[in-house]
Amino acid sequence: ALKTSYSPYSKFRVGTAILLADGEVILGSNQENVAYPSGLCAERVALFAIGALRPGAVIKRMAITAQTDNFEIKKPVTPCGACLQVMSEFEQRQDEEIEVIFYCIGGEALKVKGIKSLLPFAFLEDRLVG
């Protein structure tokens, strides 16, 4: 997934691979735009592709990694708040925890079971009803 990253400005490539319950793997990579807020993170690229192309598919596992030419990444990179929010809603919709693996190329890995442990106070649908 890192190979398809479009990150000419930051040179910070992020890739994610998502394993679905049926065994299919969906890839996502960060996509930058010269107008920075217009880009998308790798996690949301992959998740929104699943939402559009495989509605109802169950996500079992996500693996996320990053790479840059600017410096050595020594620790696993975790998702931004916006990605965690989207991941949280996907997990809630499928009513099954998603395992997430954060991998540092040439370094350590971190494994987490369930998005709730990463974003315990996610804004979810039940907050919108009275």
Active-site positions read: 43
Distance, CA of 82 to CA of 71 (rounded, Å): 25
Helix (H) or strand (E) run with residue 17 in it? strand 12-20
**How does strand 99-104 pair with strand 59-68?**
parallel
* DSSP letter for each residue of 77-102: ----HHHHHHHHHHHHHHTS--EEEE
**Coil vs helix vs strand at 44:** helix
